[in-house]
Amino acid sequence: MNGIEAVARILKLEGVEWVSCFPSNNLIEAIAQEGIRLTMFRQERGAIMAADGYSRSSHRKKFGVNVTQGGPGAENGMGGIAQAYADNIPILLIPGGPPLASWSVKPNFSPSRVYAPISKQTEAIFSSGQVGNVMRRAFHALRNGTGGPVTVETPADIAAAEVPSEVLENYNPPKRSITSPSRSDVKEAVKLLVNAKRPVIWAGGGVLFGDATAELKQFAELADVPVFTTMQGKSAFPEDHPLSLGAGSGATTLPAYKWLQESDVLFGLGTSLSHTGYGQPIPPGKVIIHNSDNITDINKDEAADVALYGDVKATLEIAIDELKAAIGEEGRKTGVASEIAEVRKQWMAEWHSMLDSDDVPINTYRVVGEIDRCLDKTNSIVTHDAGAPRDSIIPFYHATTPGGYIGWGKTTHLGFGIPLMIGAKLANPDKFCLNLMGDGAYGMSAMDLETSVRAGAPITTVVLNNGGMATYPGGYPTARELYGVTELTGNYASQAQNMGAVGITVEDPAEMAVALAAAQRHNAEGNTVLIDVHSNLESKKSRFG
């Protein structure tokens, strides 16, 4: 057995069920011979983003794995890796690499060296006898601590070298190890929360990856404390719950804004509390309790009054015990749920005219409102794309099931939604998977609609086709006037049909609900769908090109 055959066998031993790839690497054939499903994408970045989506929607139960060729193939995937790194997503990358004799010689490209700044861990296999050790370290990194891309580079000569039989005979998949904060620190945190005048819980993506929604719900109900979720944490707490404040990216709900501004104690759970333009700011002057399974997150951007380093589920289990000891088994009632309901009612009244607008061309918020009303939340997975679609949908789509929404974007790549949803669909074949994107984002990954069709991974893409880049760039009036730099055109429904998908055009608000019903039916029948929403028809008549 040679190096790549040994790597493929270890993937099988580790329970890997699916691998994304593009375009050429002998490992692809070895993986197929192990009976592991493969999907060939249209470009490397999309293949890596699909592996990302597979991991995001699996919450450490399964990992996305990607194989690319060395050299230009490995070079071309860096955007997808950067996205996974920023959002702490565990994916395994297995690119080819140059032979060892020329490993560090220009122009040869070594992924394990170049990916290092945007990866949790990178390593090259320098000896065929080290295949088992390198792969074990990779899966240990995927399962433990904070998430992130893990790279195993396979230099060409090592990939073809014979592997000693004992390498596989002695291979044992590593397990996940759980760390917990000290009980005394948790007790101090609970005391601060119970004595606070206006506490709030800030729940991040770690709650989803830690499978801790049930514990978060129990803790919040016992303490009667409202819960805000970050963009990446959206769906970690049911947004139809009386204690839900909703979620936030750069935009958020009125209840979330009010409590984040007015709270005196903030309990961050499964979060980095990173300062980012794609999230809500934390006003100064608060007492901060910070839980993360990444020690470097704590005291990074926010000073922690109480640091709870460890697994979020284990932390909450201890916190629930301490809370019951402090206030009793039945918990407490502060009346905060009624206050949240009143603020939410006021906020929704202000937005009702937008979410139900009959304006033609169709209003973006009417599209979001119909998505929120028409989907079976228990059996759906929804995501946004970068730009205006993200900030339009995050506050108004009510995610009620863990993993029912995939929030992303500490770094924000246009076009991520299509490959992400293909990965999510392959990990969750029984779910209806929908992504909302603008026409600028659509241009970055449109060809992977064909991948969705070919792979038998039917998704629905809703494109806000307003004929231009609404927020990119935000200025440059002369460039827009003279050269039309923000104008885009295209009949995207027809393009989708030419790639084997079902194309649906929506021009009237009343058609949106009908289109979503049809999309769910077509997806259930195995057909990929693109809904081309003409949200600004006037700008379709471009003077340029």
User: How confident is the model over 364-375, as pLDDT tens digits?
Assistant: 999 999 999 999
pLDDT of amino acid 98: 87
- What is the mean predicted confidence (pLDDT) over 326-340? 97
Q: Which residues contact 471 (CB under 8 A, 6 or more apart)?
A: 387, 388
How confident is the model at residue 401, as a pLDDT? Answer: 97
Length of the chain: 545
**What's the average model confidence in pLDDT over 91-106?**
89
Give the pLDDT of residue 3. Answer: 93
Cα atoms in the Cβ-side hemisphere of radius 13 Å centred on 25: 37
Residue ranges of domains in the chain, CATH in brackets: 3-169 (3.40.50.970), 183-341 (3.40.50.1220), 356-540 (3.40.50.970)
Q: Can you tell me the mean pLDDT for 232-244?
A: 98
What pLDDT, on a 0 to 100 scale, did the predictor assign at position 535?
86
* Burial group, residue 386, by CB count within 10 angstroms (0-12, 13-18, 19+): buried
Residue bearing tokens 């470009």: 43
**What pLDDT digit, counting tens, does each position of 468-512 carry?**
776 665 677 888 888 888 888 889 999 999 999 999 999 999 999
Q: Give the pLDDT score at 412.
A: 83
Q: How confident is the model at residue 446 (pLDDT cuts 50, 70, 90)?
A: very high
- Over 80: is that where the pLDDT of 458 sits? yes
Average model confidence (pLDDT) for the chain?
Answer: 94
Place of tokens 């629930």: 320
Residue 441 has pLDDT above 70, yes or no: yes
Q: DSSP state, 107? A: T
Quote the percentage of the chain above a pLDDT of 70.
97
| Mean pLDDT within 108-116 | 92
* Whole-number pLDDT of residue 102: 83
**pLDDT at 539 > cutoff 50:** no
Residue 158 is predicted with a pLDDT of: 86
- Which pLDDT belongs to residue 545? 30
Residue 544 has pLDDT above 90, yes or no: no
Q: How much of the chain is in helix, strand and coil states, percent to nearest 5? A: 45, 15, 40
* pLDDT tops 90 at residue 328: yes
| Residue 437 backbone zone (phi > 0: left; psi -120 to 50: alpha; other: beta) | beta
* Tens of pLDDT, residues 135-164: 999 999 999 999 999 999 999 888 889 999
Residues 50-76 have pLDDT tens digits of 999 999 999 889 999 999 999 999 999
**Per-residue model confidence (pLDDT) at position 482:** 87
User: What pLDDT does 104 receive?
Assistant: 80
DSSP H helices in 61-122: 72-76, 78-86, 111-114
The CA distance from 501 to 389, in Å, is 22
Mean pLDDT lowest for which of 316-320, 406-410, 468-472, 514-518? Answer: 468-472
Q: Which tens digit of pLDDT belongs to each residue from 263-285?
A: 999 999 999 999 998 999 999 99
C-alpha angle 112-152-71 in degrees, rounded to nearest 5: 55
Three-state DSSP state, 66: strand
- What DSSP line would sit under 225-237, residue for residue? --EEEETTTTTSS
- Residue 262 has φ and ψ, to the nearest 5°, of -95, -10
Mean pLDDT of 207-223: 97
Least confident of 132-136, 394-398, 407-411: 407-411
**Residue 432 predicted with pLDDT over 90:** yes
pLDDT score for 543: 33
Note the pLDDT of residue 424.
98
Six-digit token string for 438 = 């603008």
